[in-house]
Every structure is written in C-alpha cells, then in structure tokens.
Amino acid sequence: MAAGFLQRERIVAPPGWSRWLIPPAALSIHLAIGQAYAWTAFKTALTATVMAGNPNAGVLTALPFQLAIVMLGLSAAVFGTKVDSNGPRWAMVIASACFVTGFLISALGVATGQYWLVVLGYGGVGGIGLGIGYISPVSTLIKWFPDRPGLSTGIAIMGFGGGALIATPLTNQLLAAFGGTAKGAAGAPGVALTFLTMGLIYLVFMAMGWLLIRVPADGWTPAGWTRPAPGAKVLGSANVSARNAIRTPQFWLLWIVLCFNVTAGIGILERAQDIWKDFFPGTLGAAALTAAAGGFAAMLSLTNSAGRIIWSTTSDLVGRKNMYRFYLGVGALLYLTVLLMTNTNRVVFLICAMLILSFYGAGFATVPAYLRDLFGTYQVGAIHGRLLTAWSVAGVLGPLIVNAIADQRIAAGVAGPGRYTTAFVIMIVLLVVGFVANELIRPVAEKYHEKTAGPAEKAGAQA
Amino acid sequence: MSAQDTAPASGGRVAITVVAWLWVLIPFAYGLYQLIIKIPGLFGG
C-alpha cells in the first residue's frame, strides 16, 4: 500500500489538473534543500559551542557542508536513473526523508557531543537528500512545460538559490530563541534544538511537494503546442538514454560549460565580503565596512537567484546555445572590465559582479532545458544527475583558485585588488574555454537515439 | 482505490493553486525581505 502511494501510476494527472501546481510542488523541495547554502549560520554556532577551543574548528565545521555537496553530485549521478523510472513522488519522499533525517541525526550528535554524527547526518544522509531532491522535479517540469522548459526549470532552480535566503535568518532566529548563541557547552542544547526544529519544519514544508506532484498523462500536451513527430529534426525530439548520453561528446562539452561557468561564479560568491573590503576599504569605520560588505554579498545572492529565472526564461526565446554564449562571453568581458578598472569605479564594479553572479545562477537553471534540447525527455533527469558532477568539481575548483591565490598574495604583502588579479585572469581563461566548448556542441548523432519508441510514447512512459 | 485521483472541481482547483503558491511564496518573501534590508549597508545606510 505504502509503495503504491509512491508509484508513478498513482500520480498520473487526471484531466483538468493545472500544470501551474507543479512549480510550487517543485519549489517546496528546492526551497528546502537550498538550505545547504546557509550552512554558514550553523558553522558559526558549532564553532562557538561544541567546537569551542578546538584549533581545527574552521576545517571541522566546514566538513558537513563539503560532504553534503559531494554527496549531492554523487547521489544525483547514481540515483538519477532510479528517479526517472520510479517517478517524482518517490524521489521527493526519499529526498525529504534523507534531508530531514540529516537534521535529526545532527541534533542528536550535538546533544550527545558526538560531532561525527553531525558530519555523517547532515553531510552524508542529508547530502543524499540534496542530490535526489535537486533532480526530482526537473524532468517532470520539462514534460509539463514542453513549450517553456527554461521558465519551468528556472522557477524550481531559483528555489534552490532562494532556500538560503529563508534558512539564514530562520536559523539565526531559532539559535537566538533556543540559546544556541551562548558560548561554549552552554550553547550546545540550543544548537541541537535548532537542528531538530528545522528538521521538523522542513518535514512539513516538503510534504506539499510530494502530495501535489503529478506527471502528465500519456499523450498530454499544453493547449496550442504540438509534440514533434518521432524522428523530426527539431530540438528536444532526440531520445537518448543516460547510458548513451555519457558516450556523446555533447555531454562532456556541456559538462565543461557548466563546470567552468560555475567555477567563475562560485569563486567570487564564496569570498564576496573579503573581495569588497579589499577593493573598497575607503574611509569607513570597521562596522560600516562590514555592513557594506554584507550588503554586497546580499546583492550577489539576490542576482544569483534572479538570474536563474530571468535568463533561463529568456533562453526559451533566444535558444540555449545563444544564452550560454552570453553567459560565458559577456562573463569573460565583465571579468576583464573588473581587471582593467580595478577599484576606480564602485558602480561599474558592482554591476559587473552582479551580472557575473546572475550568469552563475542562470547556468544551473538553463542546463536542464539544454539537456532536453540535446537528448530529449526520455531520461533527462538521469542525464542531469550525471551532469551535476561538474558542480561538485566546480565547488572545489572555484574557491580553491580564488582563496589559494588571494592567500598567497596576502602572504606576499599585496594589498587591494592586486590580490585577485591572477585569479580573475584564470576565470577569464576558463570562461573562454567554456565558450569554445559551447560552440562545439552540435545535435546528437542518431546512432545514440533510442530505436524502440518515439519520443511521444516515451515521454509519457517515464517522468 | 482508483489508480489515479480525480481532478478537483473548478473552485477547489483555484483554492489549491492559491494555497500551493502561498505555501512557497510567503517564506520566499520573508527571506527576500531579510536580504533586502541588508542592502542599504552597501551605500553607507
């Protein structure tokens, strides 16, 4: 009975079901798992309480987040095919269970002083929830919105960016309310209660996603849209399995495009506050400078989220390849502008950084539609899962480039924008390489297409 | 038990859609507000 509830057959939409119920279902999952980007709030609390006095506190408290991002990429790649075959409700329930269990194990770990439980719980178990949850609604959205795949996946993936906007103030307020801001062992029960409460909040919040999610009935199409005939030479009509997709050059070219686009954005995002302080120390006092740097980081978060929906929606009009030309080509020019103008014009710097971050977010949001264009809807969720390994690599590469080089320059006595010159030159090179990779992407050869069924039949067969 | 649900009536459908969107938009608006109030700091506010 319980398994039946999760089966794909149970969630085939009845006639009259509004497809506009699918984006909020997807958002309830993505807004929750986007909490991962707000880990810093827990990191600060753990450093001051259970890790107080530990000389390796910085590294140890970063571990749960790092493991979670690695597990995100791995679980998306490993379970992608299962997500496609079992359907989105199964995936959302598993994702919710893993994500929430991660919080509960972490609460237990903090309460009992067993920090390894926090690493294993939040990073390991919760990280699996991140990966499955991230890809769970994507192929369903593409099938409900074949006329606007960029818009639909943009909404969901904007949710992942928006998750941190919610979780950061929520975590801080819960920590303050439960006494988790107290220093030393006295604050540990408050941190444990915060983990527990957030787990329960997400349990309820994510339930809306798996209750509401539906897959379109076989042969369903939105009004005014005609499904391409099998074998038609139009975007999205290919029919490529995940197994075959990774054998195509298109997959690996797109992997490079995503990896380098993310690397270019994540480097600046991860060190945003320090970058602002180094570029514009000005005559402000320490408190005002910290507030200004915080405002800069907030602006970047905002454009990171906004870019996901704005640019991804635009891709429905101008095409995916053109959008990535824009992200990568203009992104390289923006980095060049920052390099040439350094800190001579605050407004130009701000606009460049905001646009770079909007392209970073948009790269994530547009890629599912790009995959659909190239490989069709047959196993697009599984292919997306495998592509997300590019994110795991970029998550290490971007901060490594910016931080390692900046730290080296600081040690050499370099001050101001000069600390970032080499890192930004590397970013330009990566973006140019990504641009070339995008130029090399061509339609997938027919030998990789599935022969057994046309897209019309397969699209309804799995979601 | 039938293999699939029946679609709610028109009024119910609108209500579900409104509740579903409010479910996600209200927390998002809260997060957005918390973010926006930090931005004036960038301009010395």
Please list the ranges in chain B whose pLDDT falls under 70.
1-8, 44-45
Chain A residues 161-190 with CB within 8 Å of chain B: 162, 164-169
Q: Cβ separation of B4 and A18 shorter than 8 Å?
A: no
Q: What is the mean predicted confidence (pLDDT) over A130-155?
A: 91
A459 pLDDT tier (thresholds 50, 70, 90): very low
Six-digit token string for A68: 């979670």
Closest-CA residue in chain A for B42?
Answer: A292
The residue type at A16: G
Identify all chain B residues contacting A213, using CB atoms and an 8 Å cutoff.
none
Residue A287's pLDDT is 82
Of B3, B23, B42, the CB nearest to A296: B42
pLDDT of residue A463: 40
Smallest Cα distance from A85 to chain B, Å: 18
- pLDDT reported for residue B6: 61
Distance CA A241, CA A230 (A): 16
Q: Which residue of A has its CA nearest to B30?
A: A166
Euclidean distance between CA atoms B35 and A356, whole angstroms: 19
Query: Which residues in chain A have their CB less than 8 angstroms from residue B42's CB?
Result: 291-292, 295-296, 298-299, 350
Identify the pLDDT of residue A229: 66
Chain B closest CA to A300's CA: distance in Å? Answer: 10
CA distances from B9 to A223, A393, B12 (A): 20, 48, 5
pLDDT digits (tens, 9 = 90+) for A253-287: 999 999 999 999 887 877 788 888 889 887 677 88
Judged by CB atoms closer than 8 Å, whether chains meet at B39 and A16 is answered as no
Give the chain B residue nearest A350 (alpha carbons).
Answer: B42
Cα dihedral A234, A240, A242, A248 sign? negative
How many degrees, rounded to 5, is the angle at CA A210 between CA A206 and CA A216?
140
Please give the pLDDT value at position A462. Answer: 42
**C-alpha span between A94 and A209 (Å, rounded):** 12
Is A12 in a helix, a strand, or coil?
A: strand
Query: What is the count of residue pairs from A and B with beta carbons less than 8 Å apart?
Result: 95
Determine how many CB atoms are found less than 10 A away from the CB of residue A458. 18
Whether the CB-CB separation of A299 and B42 falls below 8 Å is answered with yes
A34 touches chain B (CB under 8 A): no
**Are the Cβ atoms of B43 and A28 closer than 8 angstroms?**
no
Cβ separation of B4 and A16 shorter than 8 Å? no
pTM of the shown model: 0.85
Q: Output the six-digit token pair for A189.
A: 């029960």
Residue A359 has pLDDT above 80, yes or no: yes
Alpha carbon A113 to its chain's center: 31
Residue type present at position A386: R
Report chain A residues whose CB lies below 8 A from the CB of B17. Answer: 18, 20-21
Whole-number Å distance between alpha carbons of A304 and A309: 10
CA–CA separation, A359 and A343 (whole Å): 22
Distance from CA of A114 to the nearest CA of B (A): 32
pLDDT for A132: 95
Average pLDDT over residues A304-311: 93
Q: What is the pLDDT of residue A234?
A: 62
Between A285 and A411, where is the model more confident? A411
Integer Cα distance of A426 and A394 in angstroms? 13
Nearest CA in chain B to A208: B20
| B32–chain A nearest CA distance, Å | 6
List own/partner pairs for A201-205 with CB under 8 A and 24 or more apart: A201/A170, A202/A32, A202/A35, A202/A96, A202/A99, A202/A100, A202/A103, A203/A96, A203/A100, A205/A28, A205/A31, A205/A32, A205/B23, A205/B27
Nearest to A12 among B4, B34, B35 (CB): B4
Percent of chain A with pLDDT over 90: 57
* Range with the poorest average pLDDT among A162-171, A363-372, A428-437: A162-171
The per-residue pLDDT for A227 is 73
Which tops the pLDDT comparison, A131 or A44? A131
3-class secondary structure, B7: coil
Phi-psi region of A184 (alpha: psi -120 to 50; beta: other; left: phi over 0): left
Contacts of B21 in chain A (CB under 8 A): 24
Select from B5, B35, B44 the Cβ nearest to the Cβ of A288.
B44
Residue A94 carries which side chain, given as an amino acid letter? Answer: I
What does the alpha-carbon distance between residue A171 and residue A41 come to, in Å, rounded to a whole number?
7
Q: pLDDT digit string (tens) for A18-69?
A: 999 999 999 999 999 999 988 888 988 998 999 888 888 877 888 898 889 8
Does residue A189 register a pLDDT over 80?
yes
| DSSP-assigned letter for residue A20 | G
Nearest chain A Cα distance for residue B35, angstroms: 6
Contacts with B24 from chain A: Cβ below 8 Å: 24, 27-28, 31, 159, 208
Please work out, in degrees rounded to the nearest 5, the angle formed at the alpha carbon of residue A127 by the alpha carbons of A23 and A5. 50
φ, ψ dihedrals at A280, nearest 5°: -130, 60
Geometric angle at alpha carbon A331, from B36 and B33, rounded to 5°: 10
Pick from A96-100, A333-337, A396-400: least confident: A396-400
Of A63-72, A227-236, A324-333, the least confident: A227-236
What pLDDT, on a 0 to 100 scale, did the predictor assign at position A452?
Answer: 61
| Averaged pLDDT score across all residues of chain A | 89
Q: Domains (ranges, CATH) in chain A?
A: 14-217 (1.20.1250.20), 229-463 (1.20.1250.20)
Alpha-carbon distance A143 to nearest alpha carbon in chain B (angstroms): 18
ipTM of the complex: 0.84
